[in-house]
Structure 1
Amino acid sequence: MSPIETLFAAARSAQARAHAPYSRFRVGAALLDEAGAVHAGCNVENAAYPVGTCAEAGAIAAMVAGGGRRIAAILVVGDGEALVTPCGACRQRIREFAAPDAPVHVAGPGGLRRSFTLAALLPDSFGPDNLGAAP
């Protein structure tokens, strides 16, 4: 299985477990860390809307909890016809752990729809290097 197929399978599996009783819009994300491990997350809504969590945030938290520190690639999957790219906050979350040239893949139920670099989604971003810190 290719890395994109592996990420797609993990993201779809996570998407199926999403807690989205309000929007009914389930999202899954899976990322590949620097050691080649796959970490997945799903959106988790809350009745107090700002308290919910995006799928990308869940995947990043799983990576950190599993000992990973760098995102080599990430894939986000959602239903519908429109591209389900990471929201602005998640683009910044990804930036904390990924290089500007890291691939961000966007998929729908049938598979990969489009690939971007993080820099294309979040140009001229603010990150750890701005603070003299290396992630």
Structure 2
Amino acid sequence: MSSLSADQQRQLIATRDRAYAPYSHHPVGALLEADDGSQYFGCNVEVAHYKGLCAEASAIAAMVTAGRQTIRSIHVIGPGQHLCTPCGDCRQRLREFATAATTIHVLAADGGLLKHYCIDELLPDSFGPENLAPV
């Protein structure tokens, strides 16, 4: 279950609303909580050649920049009342820093919880760092 406070919910909506999405017109925000409880916000940033940065990737970059490497949970909010789940690239990025206990919460535009997942539900039979171990 999502446990965002009213203030976190407002901050997440404000983060989504600051997204730079002039091409898709699909602003997304993310609030990532690391294993130590620290929080990192991110929004999508599009560029003219269509290789932008997703909100989840933005939040992960902020977390790693701050010296953390494990995601406890992440909240993702899009512009509508539909599921705005992480894209394929972001599912793989989340997998890199997730544990079996990591929770991915997908919120409606108003901040209400629509659904939550564990990483294995979003990316079953995934490829991760342990697959690169020497044989």
Please give the TM-score of this superposition, normalised by the length of structure 2: 0.89
1:7 touches 1:38 (CA, 8 Å); kept in 2?
Answer: no
Is 1:16 matched with 2:17? yes
Partner Cα distance (1:34, 1:101) in 2: 10
What displacement does 1:126 show? 0.7
What RMSD, in angstroms, separates the aligned Cα atoms of the two structures?
1.8
Q: Which runs of 5+ in 1 are unaligned?
A: none
For residues 51-77 of structure 1, what are the alpha-carbon distances to aligned partners after superposition, in whole Å with 9 as ceiling and x for unaligned?
Answer: 211000000000001111100001100
The aligned counterpart of 2:64 is: 64
Partner Cα distance (2:10, 2:33) in 1: 12
For residues 62-97 of structure 1, what are the alpha-carbon distances to aligned partners after superposition, in whole Å with 9 as ceiling and x for unaligned?
Answer: 000111110000110001232000001100000000
The aligned counterpart of 2:73 is: 73
2:56 touches 2:86 (CA, 8 Å); kept in 1?
Answer: yes
Partner Cα distance (1:101, 1:34) in 2: 10
Letter in 2 for 1:78: G
The aligned counterpart of 1:102 is: 102
Is 1:120 matched with 2:129? no
- Secondary structure of residue in 2 paired with 1:40: strand
The aligned counterpart of 1:130 is: 131
What displacement does 1:7 show? 5.3
Give the % identical residues: 48
Partner Cα distance (2:28, 2:118) in 1: 20
Partner Cα distance (1:106, 1:48) in 2: 28
Q: What is the number of equivalent residue pairs in this alignment?
A: 131
Letter in 2 for 1:42: C
Q: Which runs of 5+ in 2 are unaligned?
A: none
1:33 touches 1:70 (CA, 8 Å); kept in 2?
Answer: yes
1:32 touches 1:39 (CA, 8 Å); kept in 2?
Answer: yes
Please give the TM-score of this superposition, normalised by the length of structure 1: 0.89
Letter in 2 for 1:13: A
The aligned counterpart of 1:43 is: 44
